[in-house]
C-alpha cells in the first residue's frame, strides 16, 4: 500500500509538471496569435494604406483570417507527428514554428518601404502562425488529458483555455500600454513591432521546458504495445467521422465566441463604438483576465458534473446573456462597456472549459491528437477565421451594431442542438467518455 501511494504521488507530481509545461506553451502560442488582432487597426495603416479606413481594416482582418485557412493543414501535419512520434515531439515542433513566425512579423518592413511585397509577406507569416496553432491545441489537449487522473481531467484540461486568456491578456495589455504611451506616428512606425518581438525570448524558454518533459503515459502505453496508427488522419475520417463532425461543431461555437468576444471586440470598441484604442485594449485586457480566473472554476465544476453539462450551460448562457451584454457595450460609457463585456465573459468561460474537456473524450488514444486537432481547426476556420470578418461586414452593411450579438446567440442555439442531441456516453468510458 505505501508503494501504491508513493506511485500515485509521483504520478501526480509528473502530471502537474507536464500540465504546466504544456499550458505555458499554449500561453505563448495564444499570445503570439492574438497580438495581430489587438494591433489590427495599426497594421491596417502600415500594410494596407487606403483612403477608406474600413477598407484597410477589412483587408487586415482578411489577413487575420488567412491564418485559419491553413490551420487544418497544420492539424493534419502536427497530428500525425503527435500520434506517431509522440505528443511531446509535436508540441516542441509547434512552438518553434509559432515563435519564428511571430518574431519575423515584428521585423517585417511596411508598405511604405517595400510596397506590395509587405502585405504578401504578412499573409505568409500569418499563415505560418495558423499552421502552427493547428497542431498546438490537439497536442496540448491530448497530452494533458492523458496525464491527468480521471477525477482531475476537466480541471487540468481547462488550464489550456484559462492560460490562453493570460496570453491574450498580455497581448491586450501590451497593446494598451503602447497605444497609451506612444503618439500615433511612433505607434505606426515601430511601436506595433514590440509585442511581436517578445515572442523570441518567450518561445526560446518554452522550447527549453518542453524538451525536458516526458511523453504521456497513455501514448507510451500504446507505443509499447505497438498499437500506434500509421495513418491517423485516414483513420479519423473512416472510423470516427461522427466524432469529427461533433468536435468541429463544438469548436465552431467556441471559436466564434472567442474571436468575436475577446479579439474582434477590441476593434469593435475602437472602430465601431468610437472608444480610443487605449480604452478598447484596456477593457479587453480586464475581461480576458476575468476569463482566465473563471475558466478553471468552470473546469472544477466540470470535474463534478461533466464537460457535456458545462457546455450545455454555456450555450444557454449565450442565448440568455449576449443581447444584454451588447446593450451595455453600446451605451457610450467605458464603465458600462466593461460591465457588458464582463457579462459576456460568463458564457464564454463556461464554453471554453466545457469544450476542451469534451473534445478529447470523443476519440481513443491512438488518434486523439489528430482527431481533436483537425476538428478544432476546421471549426476555427468557420468560427474564428470568418467570424470577425463577417461581423465587420454585417455591421457595415446593415448599420446595426448588434450583429455580432445575433451571431453569438445563433451559435448558442447550434451548440444546444449538437451537444444536447448528438454527444452521448461511450460504452467504454475508460478509453474515452463520449461518442
Give residues with Cβ within 8 angstroms of 125, minimum separation 6: 101, 104, 105, 108
Closest CA to 313 of 156, 434, 419, 406: 419
Q: In a 10 Å sphere around its CB, with 0-12 CB exposed, 13-18 middle and 19+ buried, how is residue 398 labelled? A: exposed
Nearest CA to 250 out of 157, 356, 161, 350 is that of: 356
* Cell of residue 262, nine digits: 475577446
Determine the structural domain holding residue 117 and report its residue range: 7-212+230-422
Taking only the tens place, the pLDDT of each residue in 131-171 is 998 888 889 999 999 999 888 899 999 999 999 888 877 88
For residue 31, tell me if it sits in a domain: yes
Decide if 224 is inside a domain: no
Percent of the chain with pLDDT over 70: 97
Q: pLDDT tens across 20-75, in order?
A: 999 998 898 888 877 887 787 788 888 888 766 667 767 777 777 777 789 999 99
Q: Is the pLDDT of residue 1 over 50?
A: no
Distance separating alpha carbons of residues 95 and 337, to the nearest angstrom = 35
> Residue 106: phi, psi to the nearest 5?
-65, -20
Section 223-229 average pLDDT: 91
Instruction: Report whether pLDDT(13) > 90.
Output: no
Q: Does 37 reside within a domain?
A: yes
Residues forming a β-bridge with 425 = 434
pLDDT at position 48, please?
83
Domain membership flag for residue 137: yes
- How far apart are alpha carbons 61 and 36 in whole angstroms? 9
Shortest CA distance to 263 belongs to which of 391, 157, 379? Answer: 391
Angle, to 10 degrees, between the axis of helix 334-359 and the axis of helix 307-329? Answer: 160
Q: For residues 303 and 101, what is the distance between their CA atoms, to the nearest angstrom?
A: 37
429 falls within a domain: no
Mean pLDDT computed over 249-266: 89
- Residue 10: pLDDT band with limits 50, 70, 90: confident
pLDDT over 90 for what percent of the chain? 59
Distance of CA 107 to the CA centre of its chain: 24
Lowest mean pLDDT among 78-87, 91-100, 382-391: 382-391
Question: Closest Cα partner for 316 from 250, 403, 414?
Answer: 414
Instruction: Report the predicted TM-score, pTM, of the whole model to 2 decimal places.
Output: 0.88
Q: CATH no. for residue 55?
A: 1.20.1250.20
- The CA-atom distances, in angstroms, between 81 and each of 256, 296, 369, 435 are 28, 29, 9, 24
Q: Is residue 217 part of a domain?
A: no
Which carries the bigger pLDDT value, residue 58 or residue 288? 288
Whose cell is 495603416? That residue is: 45
Q: Tell me, yes or no, whether 395 lies in a domain.
A: yes
d(CA 386, CA 380): 9
Q: What is the mean pLDDT of residues 352-364?
A: 94
**Is 262 part of any domain?**
yes
Domain count of the fold of the chain = 1
Amino acid at each position: 500500500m505505501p508503494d501504491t501511494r508513493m506511485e500515485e504521488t509521483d504520478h501526480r507530481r509528473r502530471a502537474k509538471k507536464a500540465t504546466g509545461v504544456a499550458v505555458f506553451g499554449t500561453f505563448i502560442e495564444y499570445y503570439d496569435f492574438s497580438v495581430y488582432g489587438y494591433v489590427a487597426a495599426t497594421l491596417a495603416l502600415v500594410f494596407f494604406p487606403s483612403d477608406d479606413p474600413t477598407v484597410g481594416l477589412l483587408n487586415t482582418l482578411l489577413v487575420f483570417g488567412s491564418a485559419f485557412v491553413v490551420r487544418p493543414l497544420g492539424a493534419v501535419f502536427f497530428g500525425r507527428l503527435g500520434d506517431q512520434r509522440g505528443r511531446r515531439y509535436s508540441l516542441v515542433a509547434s512552438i518553434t514554428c509559432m515563435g519564428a513566425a511571430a518574431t519575423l512579423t515584428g521585423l517585417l518592413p511596411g508598405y511604405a518601404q517595400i510596397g506590395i511585397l509587405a502585405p504578401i509577406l504578412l499573409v505568409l507569416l500569418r499563415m505560418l502562425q495558423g499552421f502552427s496553432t493547428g497542431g498546438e491545441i490537439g497536442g496540448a489537449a491530448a497530452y494533458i488529458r492523458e496525464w491527468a487522473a480521471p477525477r482531475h481531467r476537466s480541471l487540468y484540461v481547462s488550464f489550456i483555455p484559462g492560460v490562453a486568456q493570460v496570453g491574450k491578456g498580455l497581448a491586450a495589455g501590451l497593446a494598451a500600454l503602447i497605444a497609451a504611451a506612444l503618439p500615433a506616428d511612433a505607434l505606426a512606425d515601430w511601436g506595433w513591432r514590440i509585442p511581436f518581438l517578445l515572442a523570441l525570448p518567450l518561445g526560446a524558454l518554452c522550447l527549453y521546458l518542453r524538451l525536458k518533459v516526458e511523453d504521456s503515459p497513455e501514448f507510451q502505453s500504446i507505443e509499447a504495445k505497438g498499437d500506434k496508427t500509421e495513418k491517423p488522419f485516414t483513420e479519423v475520417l473512416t472510423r470516427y467521422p461522427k466524432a469529427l463532425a461533433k468536435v468541429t461543431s463544438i469548436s465552431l461555437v467556441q471559436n466564434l465566441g472567442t474571436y468575436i468576444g475577446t479579439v474582434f471586440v477590441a476593434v469593435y470598441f475602437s472602430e465601431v463604438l468610437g472608444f480610443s484604442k487605449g480604452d478598447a485594449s484596456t477593457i479587453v485586457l480586464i475581461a480576458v483576465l476575468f476569463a482566465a480566473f473563471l475558466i478553471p472554476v468552470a473546469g472544477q465544476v466540470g470535474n463534478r458534473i461533466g464537460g457535456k453539462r458545462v457546455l450545455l450551460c454555456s450555450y444557454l448562457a449565450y442565448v440568455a446573456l449576449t443581447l444584454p451584454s451588447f446593450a451595455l457595450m453600446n451605451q457610450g460609457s467605458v464603465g458600462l462597456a466593461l460591465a457588458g463585456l464582463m457579462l459576456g465573459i460568463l458564457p464564454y468561460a463556461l464554453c471554453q472549459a466545457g469544450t476542451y474537456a469534451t473534445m478529447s473524450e470523443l476519440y481513443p488514444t491512438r488518434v486523439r491528437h489528430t482527431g481533436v486537432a483537425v476538428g478544432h481547426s476546421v471549426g476555427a476556420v468557420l468560427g474564428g477565421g470568418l467570424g470577425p470578418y463577417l461581423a465587420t461586414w454585417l455591421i457595415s452593411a446593415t448599420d446595426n451594431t448588434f450583429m455580432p450579438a445575433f451571431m453569438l446567440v445563433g451559435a448558442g442555439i447550434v451548440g444546444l442542438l449538437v451537444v444536447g442531441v448528438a454527444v452521448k456516453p461511450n460504452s467504454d468510458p475508460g478509453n474515452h467518455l463520449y461518442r
